[in-house]
Amino acid sequence: MNVRKLSENWKRIEQRVGEAASRARRDPKSVTIVAVTKTASVEIVQALVDLGVRDLGENRVQEFARRAALLKEWLDQRSASAATTAVRPRWHMIGHLQRNKVKALLPWVDVIQTVDSLRLAEEIDAQAGKIGRVIPILLEVNASGESNKTGVAVAAAIHLAEQIRTLRQLDLRGLMAMGPLSDDRERVRQAFGRVRELFDEIVGERVAGPQFRELSMGMSADFEIGIELGATCVRIGSALFEGMELPAEPAVTES
């Protein structure tokens, strides 16, 4: 594994995030970078943690649990052998979540960014209750309006947020959205702009409480537009591994 390349890529992304924040007259520290590791090896995940990466994102429950468990073991061993306690990263679920996978995910996840239905929210609430946790979540919004995309429709999001508010084991922290798969920056800007308006409306009408502050918007190709429109979280995968060999993503999703 090429740690130096990984380190260069990470620094470059931090720099670009900082520059985008400055252009938008925002504090660079107001934007969290979630490193999306997907097919990267556990060694790469460890190297990222050593580089100071504090937020990790995964999209498949099985891989999520396996990596989070391995990383915890690695950090526990370190803490045992060194005087300092290692800083534990936060794990973000960023992939579509099926209800029958919630139970396996909950012991490992810090934030679920992809809640897009009441049924899913209720299942998380029920399972979280059993283990006595309150789970920070984001509502995933279908920003582009494309029917093949996951996420709740913009027009239905406020109602869903109101319903989620009644679930005691869920802590609604904000919104998450994916931009349209398009090189047309104006279309991306419009889609993110709609999500920003929705965010402002939820805050303005006090649909959610004061902890509703997060806007997860932007990936490798469009994070600068996300930051321009107020993203507090960007999810970066491919840009982090540029120039490095990684296995391709499995074509079939787990069932």
Choice between 151 and 169, CB closer to ligand PLP:
151
Draw the binding track, 19-38, toward ligand PLP (x: CB under 6 A; -: no contact).
-----------------x-x
**Least distance from ligand PLP to the Cβ atom of residue 246, Å:** 10
**Distance between CA atoms of residues 108 and 118, nearest Å:** 22
Task: Say whether residue 225 binds ligand PLP (CB under 6 A).
Answer: no
Residue 20: both structure tokens together: 């985008």
Structure-token match 């460890």, residue found: 46
Segment 78 to 107, residues that bind ligand PLP, using CB under 6 A: 94-95
Task: Say whether residue 236 binds ligand PLP (CB under 6 A).
Answer: yes
Segment 42 to 61, residues that bind ligand PLP, using CB under 6 A: 59
Q: What is the 3-class SS of 177-200, one letter each residue?
A: ECCCCCCCHHHHHHHHHHHHHHHH
- Region from 9-17, 70-78, 82-90, 229-237 binding ligand PLP, contact rule CB under 6 A: 229-237
**Least distance from ligand PLP to the Cβ atom of residue 176, Å:** 8
How far, in whole angstroms, is CA 61 from its chain's centroid?
Answer: 14
**Least distance from ligand PLP to the Cβ atom of residue 94, Å:** 4
Choice between 229 and 236, CB closer to ligand PLP:
236
**Least distance from ligand PLP to the Cβ atom of residue 224, Å:** 12
- Region from 80-88, 193-201, 203-211, 235-243 binding ligand PLP, contact rule CB under 6 A: 235-243
Choice between 32 and 220, CB closer to ligand PLP:
220
Nearest CA-CA partner of 191 in 175, 203, 173, 178: 178
Choice between 54 and 165, CB closer to ligand PLP:
54
Task: Say whether residue 208 binds ligand PLP (CB under 6 A).
Answer: no
CA distance to 143, 161, 168, per residue, from 229 (Å) = 13, 21, 31
Instruction: Give the pairing type, strands 135-142 and 214-217.
Output: unpaired
Choice between 114 and 127, CB closer to ligand PLP:
114
Q: Give me the sign of the Cα torsion angle 121, 127, 130, 135.
A: negative
Q: Rule CB under 6 A: choose which of 238, 250, 253, 254 binds ligand PLP.
A: 238
Q: Which residue is nearest to ligand PLP (CB)?
A: 237
**Distance between CA atoms of residues 2 and 10, nearest Å:** 12
Q: CB under 8 Å to 34, separation ≥6 — which residues?
A: 55, 56, 57, 92, 94, 216, 233, 234, 235, 236
One-character DSSP codes across 1-53: --HHHHHHHHHHHHHHHHHHHHHTT--GGG-EEEEE-TTS-HHHHHHHHHTT-
> Site residues (CB under 6 A) for ligand PLP?
36, 38, 59, 94-95, 178, 219-221, 235-239
